[in-house]
Structure 1
Amino acid sequence: MPTPLTLLATAGSKRVRLMQAARAQLRLPPAHVLEWRHWLAQPARLEEALRQPCLFKIEPPGDDPAAHLSLLQAGCRLQDRPLPDAPAHGELLAMDAWFAGFSSAMQALATQLAALPAIRVFNAPVEILRMTDKLACQRHLAAHGVPIPDLLGPVESYGHLQSLLHQHDLDRVYLKPRYGSSASGVVAYRRNKTGRQQATTSANLSRTDGETRLFNVKRMARYETPADIAALVDALAAQQLYAEAWLNKPRCCDSHYDLRVVTLAGQPAHRVARIGQHMMTNLHLDNRRGEASGLLNAADLAALEATATQAARAFPKSHVTGYDLVVRQGQAHVLEANAFGDLLPGLLWQGADTYAAQLTHV
């Protein structure tokens, strides 16, 4: 008798469709879907959905705007902040408050699951939470001996950024929202000795009636005036921002690339090069896939596999995790861990996509 699967997810999302397709391919019954919005409104629905022993996988709530708004407003209540209206499409709004709501929800979920010992959880809520806090995650990886870019720490404002650059004698850094995802709000910042500055980002800066708003878009923007860069950094810092040292990515023809590796049960499996001409190589930003084995020599491949395995050991309660790495000259550094890093349609490893593989390796 195959073990049933329950998903905490958004019905009809791409992730659910891919999982259901993998279940059908393996001749397994469809997964039951408990909607994020329904669980947030009525937590008792979880016990109803998990009455029988089963596998349980948590998918991200961001596919459902109603669930995102619920978590955002819950975080604002926890922080005693005014409740915002629903963010406009792509708007980067109060990411720190959203995380506070998400953290509270995941802690409640962990408590519920602790009372259901017969349920086998793909990725534990506590580890999903740690990976969602990007700064805490990088510190966690470093504490486990995983190579990462040097961290400069939190950035409180544009002026504070300049102080950090002076303190560390750096002219190039990556600025990353602490609770962002999919490169949203990430800034590649450079300056030279003449004082010229440049900030490249997928965050579009909008100023209306004296109000500064940020929108995540697919087209990369480049800001070069101090006023624009200061407004951009200050708006991101208000939602919690951190800086890390610039790490050069290896080149491929006229582009550069990094790598996404999916680990299953602690072992590296699917891997793909993300190739693009901009600093951010995330595939949803119209960058292209490349065959990792065609770009890496033996030393680089060994470094990739060893580092991905080492990173997975830092999250022993996570069955399927994605890692973004820069690999060059026989060394690998982890840029980011992603608890939801398996959304790579059509990418095969030993003949199976990421969803079929995680079901057969569970």
Structure 2
Amino acid sequence: MTFAVVGTPGDRRPGLFAAACRSSGLPEPRLIAWTDVLRGAEIALGSGELLRIDSPGEDPEADMLLRGPGDPARVGGGARWHRAFTAALRRLAAAASASGARLLGDVEEIGIMFDKRLSHARMLAAGVPVPPALPGVDGYAALRSRMDEAGERRVFVKPAHGSSASGVVALQTAARRVRAVTSAATTPDGLFNSLRVRAYETEDEVAALIDALAPDGLHVERWLPKATAGGRAFDLRVVVIGGEPTHAVVRTSRHPMTNLHLGGARGDLGAVQRALGEDGWERALDVCARAAACFPGSPMVGVDLLVCMGLKRFAVAEVNAFGDLLPGLTGLPGGPAEGVDTYTAQVGAALAGSGACAT
């Protein structure tokens, strides 16, 4: 069995997957650069080759091909990014079909997972608990109107096609006061990603922020209060491989966003499991499995699970097509991936699915 990986040279993800292949006794995967795919280069695949699609990563050239020229740190351009990305996915699927290669993952599902509106709607239709959404928001005025109609005072405003919390705004309103927490920095040249979470507290600032994000499409949902541990709010990233939750990490933060690159920190999974109890933990994993089941053609889905205050309710905040970058994290004890990382577990699942054996 041989793999080809669409990824970015130098990015950690293809390197970690290659290490998983080597440890499983498989040949080094062949790397196909995202920049070549995005330029429309011919994609040569071998019959029987397994094609894994990985994230474009943070490559400036790939970013330019996806969003157009500009500073890679800017916020925005998500709609153009999504159009270019999904078109490239379809070309990869066509190349795999024409050559007899096998694509690991459904490209249409990957595209849906990169549209928060579509993925939320799909999970809601399947009965997966998700935060209630406010549709039809195309700017700050519409946002405040929808919030008033729904009686909401706390919402998350998310770019429809964003990732890594880029442009995400945690908004609170009360009487004449407004407060927006985000990592997006407002500059004379537009919005830029920052590693520092900041707050905007005037109506004019918040309106300008939301209106700047709106042209690429917005997904707005109720801000559900998260459970806390040690004075820090937390949620869970759960990796589901082959339909079964295999890896989980606790993400804690003093900010509404728990992303590790924004100052979040890994928490004590054992403490969370004990707080939830055996029944609560099983219910949490069941919600993640149900969310992943909405994407049956995807061998791996990363699920961001909200544990609500009181530890009794759960909701899926997002699903991630490339949510397996958790270096050093091994599988849940007693599970099929115990003792191995997310990439080794996926190699094993691919081997089992093909009936092949490592040599």
**CA positional deviation for 1:331:** 2.6
**CA positional deviation for 1:203:** 0.7
Counterparts of 1:319 and 1:286 in 2: how far apart (Å)? 30
Question: Moved runs in structure 1, 4+ residues, more than 6 A?
Answer: none
Counterparts of 1:352 and 1:293 in 2: how far apart (Å)? 18
2:80 to 73, 78, 97: 97
Match for 2:121: what amino acid?
R
Could you say what secondary structure the match of 2:316 adopts? Answer: strand
**CA positional deviation for 1:200:** 0.1
**CA positional deviation for 1:87:** 2.2
Aligned to 2:321: 339
1:206 to 187, 207, 210: 187
Counterparts of 2:281 and 2:72 in 1: how far apart (Å)? 39
1:305 to 285, 295, 298: 285
- Between 165-174 and 326-335, the greater mean CA deviation after superposition: 326-335
Give the RMSD, CA atoms, in angstroms.
1.4
Counterparts of 2:97 and 2:137 in 1: how far apart (Å)? 37
Aligned length: 339
Could you say what secondary structure the match of 1:96 adopts? Answer: helix
**CA positional deviation for 1:33:** 0.2
Counterparts of 2:265 and 2:209 in 1: how far apart (Å)? 28
- Between 299-308 and 276-285, the greater mean CA deviation after superposition: 299-308
1:249–1:258 Cα contact (<8 Å) kept: yes
1:103–1:129 Cα contact (<8 Å) kept: yes
Q: Could you tell me which runs of 5 or more consecutive residues in structure 1 were left unpaired when the two chains were aligned.
A: 74-85
Aligned to 1:267: 244
Match for 1:147: what amino acid?
P
Task: Please show how residues 1-362 of structure 1 align to structure 2 within 5 Å.
Answer: 3-44=1-42, 46=43, 48=44, 50-73=45-68, 86-116=69-99, 118-193=100-175, 195-208=176-189, 213-296=190-273, 297-328=277-308, 329-349=311-331, 350-362=338-350
Counterparts of 2:96 and 2:111 in 1: how far apart (Å)? 15
Match for 1:200: what amino acid?
V
Match for 1:339: what amino acid?
A
Q: Scaled by the length of structure 2, what TM-score is found?
A: 0.91
Counterparts of 1:323 and 1:267 in 2: how far apart (Å)? 12
1:202–1:221 Cα contact (<8 Å) kept: yes
**CA positional deviation for 1:285:** 1.2
Query: Alignment identity in percent?
Result: 37
- Between 64-73 and 173-182, the greater mean CA deviation after superposition: 64-73
Counterparts of 1:169 and 1:6 in 2: how far apart (Å)? 50
**CA positional deviation for 1:240:** 1.2
Aligned to 2:334: none
Match for 2:132: what amino acid?
D
Counterparts of 1:41 and 1:183 in 2: how far apart (Å)? 27
Q: Could you tell me which runs of 5 or more consecutive residues in structure 2 were left unpaired when the two chains were aligned.
A: 332-337, 351-359
**CA positional deviation for 1:176:** 0.4
